[in-house]
Amino acid sequence: MHIVAVLALDQVVPFDLATPIEVFSRTLLHGAPAYEVRICGPSRELDAGMFTLRPPWDLSGLADADTIIVPGRASNPPLPASVISVLRSAAARGARIASICSGAFVLAETGLLDGLRATTHWAAAPELARLYPAVEVDPDVLYVDNGQLLSSAGAAAGLDLCLHLIRRDHGSAVAATAARLSVMPLEREGGQAQFIAHDAPPTPRGSELEPVLAWMEENCAAELTLSGVAARVGMSTRTLNRRFREQTGTTPLQWLLRARVRRAQHLLEATGEPVDRIAAQVGFGSPGAFRERFKRVVGTSPQAYRASFRAV
């Protein structure tokens, strides 16, 4: 059985602690529990603010865990050396580790997030970026999935993250049932997509680039060139590059590649088309280039993504 260990530290946020316990412990697979859930801590008693917590497991409970969830803390004092060691060891053996809210500070302190994209509560994001400049902090998403290491924003985003993990493990049907038990939509409406970690390329509303960005996204499968896009918008290629940097934070090529990957995600989820054909349909010159770019953006291969997220 898949073991989920929830790491409780002093000043743990009760909401963040309870979310994975409730979601994973209530998830069923063929009528039986899908997960074994453990609450682990570095000491026999922990300060949880309004109450004292006595974790049933010590840190040894993380040694064979398949997934480790790190809830947020009300404050972020330096971690005990034992906690840093056990998390690094878990990552080295391939365990999946996910943080909720300010739990990202814990992962950042271990160095596990260095060079990776991560998120946390929007109010804490500037401090996370200041303290850990090696981490690419994105405050605008519900969660970030880097494959082995994940992070989520605050409060209800922990639910989004847990449902995303269940969907990765057991597919959409099991995750949808878990979502209903949590009285939570499996997919957020109002502009927040389920795969928000791989969100659509930004389109600044009301900007002079908005029409051409919409056109590029609609025609992302075509063989678009920088000079062709510049001619359409009536700019020189140099001016177009500068405006893209100013208004989207990236280059025209990078924006286009992200749009193509996003289109590919939809086709992988909604159709049974072969991966090589999808590569051509979204505008990649070769299946190899498509697979490389897809894994760089999404964090997994097209085949693995389809296995996890294709609607049945």
Banded pLDDT at 193 (limits 50, 70, 90): very low
Average pLDDT over residues 27-46: 94
- 25 to each of 30, 188, 238, 302, how far by Cα in Å? 14, 22, 55, 30
Mean pLDDT rounded to a whole number for the chain = 87
Q: Say what the pLDDT of residue 43 is.
A: 92
Q: Say what the pLDDT of residue 185 is.
A: 58
Nearest to 293 by CA among 257, 266, 267, 248: 257
The CA distance from 214 to 204, in Å, is 10
Q: What is the pLDDT of residues 258-304, one digit of tens each?
A: 889 988 988 988 888 999 999 999 999 899 999 999 888 877 789 88
* Whether the domain at 2-197 and the domain at 201-312 fall into the same CATH topology: no
Q: What is the pLDDT of residues 197-231, one digit of tens each?
A: 444 455 555 567 788 888 888 888 888 889 988 88
Asked if the model's pLDDT at residue 243 lies above 90, the reply is no
Asked if the model's pLDDT at residue 254 lies above 60, the reply is yes
The CA distance from 191 to 2, in Å, is 32
* Residue 12: both structure tokens together: 């743990």
For the chain, the domains span 2-197, 201-312
Q: What is the pLDDT of residues 149-161, one digit of tens each?
A: 999 998 788 998 9
Q: Say what the pLDDT of residue 76 is.
A: 87
Q: Which residue has the higher pLDDT, 84 or 285?
A: 84
CA dihedral 46→48→51→52, nearest 10 degrees, is: 0
The CA distance from 134 to 130, in Å, is 10
The answer to whether 152 and 122 are in contact (CB under 8 A) is no
Average pLDDT over residues 94-122: 95
Average pLDDT over residues 50-75: 95
Asked if the model's pLDDT at residue 190 lies above 80, the reply is no
The answer to whether 308 and 167 are in contact (CB under 8 A) is yes
Whole-model pTM: value is 0.62
Q: Which CATH number fits domain 2-197: 3.60.15.10, 2.60.40.10, 1.10.10.60, 3.40.50.880?
A: 3.40.50.880
Nearest to 12 by CA among 73, 53, 57, 69: 73
* Residue 185: both structure tokens together: 């939509």
Banded pLDDT at 62 (limits 50, 70, 90): very high
Nearest to 263 by CA among 238, 282, 244: 282
Q: What letter does residue 12 receive in the DSSP assignment?
A: B
Output the DSSP codes for 108-134.
HHHTTTTTSEE---TTTHHHHHHH-TT
Please confirm, yes or no, whether 162 is among the known catalytic residues. no
Q: Which residue has the higher pLDDT, 208 or 105?
A: 105
Average pLDDT over residues 56-60: 96
Q: Say what the pLDDT of residue 194 is.
A: 33
Q: Provide the CB-side half-sphere exposure for 223 (13 A, CA).
A: 2
Q: Which long-range contacts (CB under 8 A, 24 or more apart) does 261-267 make?
A: 261/198, 261/293, 261/294, 261/297, 261/298, 262/198, 262/199, 262/200, 262/201, 263/220, 263/221, 264/290, 264/294, 264/302, 265/195, 265/198, 265/298, 265/305, 265/309
The CA distance from 201 to 247, in Å, is 12
Q: Which CATH number fits domain 201-312: 3.40.50.300, 3.30.930.10, 3.40.50.720, 1.10.10.60?
A: 1.10.10.60
Which residue is listed with tokens 């390329």?
A: 201
